[in-house]
Chains A and B, each alone.
Chain A
Amino acid sequence: MKRVLEAVVVGAALATALATGWAISQERGAPAGRVPKPAIVQARGDKCVEPVEFMRRSHMQVLLHQRDRTVHEGIRTKGHSLKGCVECHASAATGSVAAEEGDFCRSCHSYAAVRIDCFECHASRPQAVAGGVKP
């Protein structure tokens, strides 16, 4: 229960921050700020595992839910895993989702000024690039 609550709180905070950032970016006639607008890197594959609008707001809830299922219950389905995100969204230029300013995760997070705490521990590159052999 506590975990769910925490996930909701964190998710809500992130969603609010992102939504605010988004709203500001959409505002018509707003002067061009010093912060570059997020550039969404084209991902591999036809479409995301969930609708884009849902993912923009709720990706963190999805990730948190999957994280606990993976770590504690050993469920390693690809759909909602961080590894899955990285495999599709790593940029062609850097091979990563968070190495450079323009990479998928960083571009939005920089814009919304929300720190990403994932890639201090998790690989931001898909398996093959990270040096391991793709299974």
Chain B
Amino acid sequence: MSGRDAARRQFLAWGAGALATLTIAPGVLLLRPVHGRAPEQAVTGKARWGLLIDTNRCAAGCDACVTACNRENGLSGATRETDAQWIRKVELRDPRTGRKASLPVMCQHCEHPPCVDVCPTGASFRRADGIVLVDKHICIGCRYCMMACPYKARSLVHEPLADQQPDVPRGKGTVESCTLCVHRVDRGERPACVEACAAAGRGAIVFGDLNDPASAIARRIAQYPSVQVRADLGLNPGVRYEGI
């Protein structure tokens, strides 16, 4: 199955809502209720955003999601040990069977996030719609969340930064991680990695509302097997994987 075919099939599987978000220009969406919420309305627990990653469609060597994330969020893309990486491609190999898999790993947006439990000031928090964020205004840079995260999802900004993206404030001495592109979600768009994966013809990442039984993501996880990484920890991540 070619990547393009896969993408087409993926598109067909998506609900009308997902298609609409794809085709309507983002600017237009700004003016209408986003994901059923008016701009001046606080986010509620009605929706829980999540990702479903189909590792069968994810190719080793493709890093479209990583590049898109870096561009969207103003990350340098450098990969020294001190550089922030919000999303990374992990290559897996089972030494017993030799089976290989390739998949992106980012903040898993847990329902019971350890980073939130350990944060002394409450800077690390879970938004009502399930997105786990850092309020960098009250982050003191203690890095306890980085110690607690089972997914190695968080990074400390080790150097002074300049020319940040207006929608994505980032600064030296505070901890950060994947925000599920919360600024895009808030205006009714999908995260940058999801868009990029679809644009690359793979469509390996589905974004949607896990609480809405009619959503593409909810229907797919109800129908086909998917797993959470380190499910044994009982954190109920909002990111699920197929094919590992």
Residues of A within 8 A of B133 (CB): 71
Q: Which residues of A contact B166 (CB under 8 A)?
A: 83, 86, 122-123, 125-127, 130, 132
Interface residues on A, range: 20 to 34
In chain B, what residue has the closest Cβ to A73?
B42
Is B164 within 8 A of A76, CB to CB? no
A121 within 8 A of B: yes
Contact A135 B26 (CB under 8 A): yes
Instruction: Chain A residues near B41: list those with CB within 8 A.
Output: 75
**B39 A75 Cβ-Cβ under 8 A:** yes
CA of A40 to CA of B162 in the docked complex: distance in angstroms?
Answer: 24
Q: Which of B128-146 contact A (CB under 8 A)?
A: 128-129, 133, 135-137
With a cutoff of 8 Å between Cβ atoms, the chain A residues found around residue B171 in the complex are 120-121
- CB-CB < 8 A to B172: which residues of A? 120
A45 close to chain B: CB less than 8 A: no
> Would A72 and B165 be within 8 Å (CB), given that A120-B171, A120-B172 are in contact?
no
In the bound complex, do residue A121 and residue B136 qualify as a contact, i.e. CB atoms below 8 Å apart? yes
For residue A67, CB closer than 8 A to chain B, the reply is: yes
Does A44 lie at the interface of the complex (its beta carbon under 8 Å from any beta carbon of B)?
no
**Chain A, interface SS category:** loop
How far apart are the CA atoms of A69 and B186 in the complex, in Å? 13
Nearest-CB residue, chain B, relative to A6? B138
Is B19 positioned at the interface, with any CB of A under 8 Å from its CB? no
Chain A residues 86-135 with CB under 8 Å of chain B are 86, 120-123, 125-127, 130-132, 135
User: Looking at the complex, which one of B40, B160, B165 makes contact with A130 (CB distance below 8 Å)?
Assistant: B165
Decide if B240 is an interface residue (CB 8 Å cutoff): no
Q: Does B177 contact A (CB under 8 A)?
A: no
Check if B85 is an interface residue, CB within 8 A of chain A: no
Whether the pair A76, B42 counts as a contact (CB closer than 8 A) is no
> Is the CB of A51 closer than 8 A to any CB of chain B?
no
**CB within 8 Å of B: which of A36-62?**
none
Flag whether B230 is at the interface (Cβ < 8 A).
no
Residues on the B chain within 8 Å of A126, using CB: 166
Chain A residues within an 8 Å CB radius of B39: 75-77
| Residue on B nearest A99 in the bound complex, by CB | B162
Q: Is B9 an interface residue (CB 8 A)?
A: no
Give the residue among B40, B160, B165, B166 with the most A Cβ atoms within 10 A.
B166
B contact set with A: CB distance below 8 Å: 26-27, 30, 37, 39-43, 125, 127-129, 133, 135-137, 160-161, 163-167, 169-172, 174, 182-183, 186-187
A-to-B contact residues, CB < 8 Å: 67, 69, 71-77, 83, 86, 120-123, 125-127, 130-132, 135
A and B contact pairs by CB, cutoff 8 A, 11 listed? A67-B137, A71-B135, A72-B127, A72-B135, A73-B42, A73-B43, A75-B42, A76-B183, A86-B166, A123-B165, A135-B30
Q: Which 4 pairs of residues, A with B, have the shortest CB-CB distance?
A: A121-B171, A73-B42, A74-B43, A121-B169
